[in-house]
Structure 1
Amino acid sequence: MWHLLPPLLDGMKTTLLVTLYSIAVALVLAFAAGFGRLSKSRTVRGVTLVYVEVFRGTSLLVQLFWMYFALPLLLDVRIPAMSAAVLALGLNYGAYGSEVVRSCVLAVPKGQTEAAIALNLTPRQRMRRIILPQAWRMMLPAFGNLQIELLKGTSLVYLITLSDVTFRGMVLRSSNMTETPAIFGWILILFFIVAFALTRLIRFFERRAAVGRG
């Protein structure tokens, strides 16, 4: 069944692009919303809370449909399928990531903040030099899990016309139903390879973050 692999690999390129772009968007939103939840401003906390609860509490599939089908009708602006996919995935997993950021920042011992205050560090310096490096180390395992979940979530983007690996598999299956086990077997293998590579990347960052720390 090696003849099935080239078209699936072409689709995998789109899957990888969606995954990488979405991870970047989700990471930015996770930190923005995570710090927003810790803000002293009630308005900022309220806006951030609404974003987090809405995107955590609704289906990713529905969010994809809203980005690609509903919003263009409401705003009269056509959103490309790639942009809609990246935006929906980034917003969804950024909401989950914000809770990781918030909880890990709060998990840093209060004594660290008190010591930084005693050293006359500004709030920005305390966060950048003392709190965030310790919190980052705690965030990495959870971020690793979220990026694997995001990768698997990309299997839905074919429903908004993106020609990803799942879409290519469905096209191949429609032309020859007897090859269904082989087609989805290849898709499983390809997803596993990418997920394993992402896992190893996170392990690398975990080792780097642990250097010089007990």
Structure 2
Amino acid sequence: MLMTLFMALLDGALVTVQITAMASVLAIICAAIAGLARLSRFRPVRMIAVTYVEFFRGTSALVQLFWLFFVLPAFGINLPPMVVAVIGLGLHIGAYGAEIVRSAVTAVPRGQREAAIALNMSPMLAMRRVILPQATIAMLPPFNNLSIELLKATSLVSLITITDLTFKANVLNMATLKTAEIYSAVLVMYFVISMAITLTFRMVERRLSVGLGRGMAR
């Protein structure tokens, strides 16, 4: 019986991992675009980025999911629940990530920019080859925290009919009434996934740090 419950929960955990992975990619893309846009010399570009960041940080992730899932069909736009989950969570977490990108880029010492200019690098080339590699190292720890927050936020998608880990747990609990066993297993599964995320980010951080150190040594 316990093995049957575990396998059912494992199916939900796989859905949770899929949503977390896809939404994380979208969040990173949105964070990079919005974070760099906030540093743009052009005021309209900055204002668009600020509007995006403040709107998605200032409203509930659950309401955003409900709006995409229940309101968009009124305008003739019907998105599958999985797409709604990825877009909604990706945009929401990406708004927080934008501040991480902006802060990391501005934290790079000004001397690095001046050195790039002295080498006749264009602003775009200096950003790509000098500033971003250093800023990326600083971004990884806070992005690790955001990814874990995203993982925990996936529990909201059970409210838009997605059979994720939380949805499976609720269904199994109502069917078997084995509350302690089910939700204890769910806690362990979320913890294992979050640790896998943390270990992945630490591995990436070590590799990038070694690569950056070699590049600066040259």
Q: Normalised by the size of structure 1, how large is the TM-score?
A: 0.97
Cα displacement string for residues 39-65 of structure 1 (whole angstroms, at most 9, x for unaligned residues): 111101001100000000111111110
What letter is aligned with 1:163?
T
Q: SS of 1:39's equivalent?
A: coil
Identity fraction in percent: 50
| Aligned counterpart, 1:200 | 199
- State the Cα distance separating 1:99 from its structure 2 match: 0.3
Alignment of 1:1-214 (within 5 A): 1-73=2-74, 75-177=75-177, 179-211=178-210, 213=213
- State the Cα distance separating 1:3 from its structure 2 match: 2.7
Q: Which runs of 5+ in 2 are unaligned?
A: none
**Within 2, Cα distance between the matches of 1:134 and 1:156?**
35
- State the Cα distance separating 1:2 from its structure 2 match: 2.9
Cα displacement string for residues 176-199 of structure 1 (whole angstroms, at most 9, x for unaligned residues): 22x111111111111111110110
**Within 2, Cα distance between the matches of 1:137 and 1:77?**
39
Q: SS of 1:146's equivalent?
A: helix
**Within 1, Cα distance between the matches of 2:90 and 2:110?**
31
**Within 2, Cα distance between the matches of 1:175 and 1:209?**
48
- State the Cα distance separating 1:166 from its structure 2 match: 0.7
Cα displacement string for residues 151-200 of structure 1 (whole angstroms, at most 9, x for unaligned residues): 110011010000111111111111122x1111111111111111101100
**Within 2, Cα distance between the matches of 1:129 and 1:180?**
53
What letter is aligned with 1:37?
R
Q: Normalised by the size of structure 2, how large is the TM-score?
A: 0.95
Q: Which runs of 5+ in 1 are unaligned?
A: none
In the alignment of these two chains, the number of paired residues is 212
**Within 2, Cα distance between the matches of 1:5 and 1:57?**
37
Q: SS of 1:40's equivalent?
A: coil
Structure 1 residue runs of 4+, over 3 Å off?
none
Q: SS of 2:146's equivalent?
A: helix
- State the Cα distance separating 1:12 from its structure 2 match: 1.1
Between 2-11 and 90-99, the greater mean CA deviation after superposition:
2-11
Q: SS of 2:120's equivalent?
A: coil
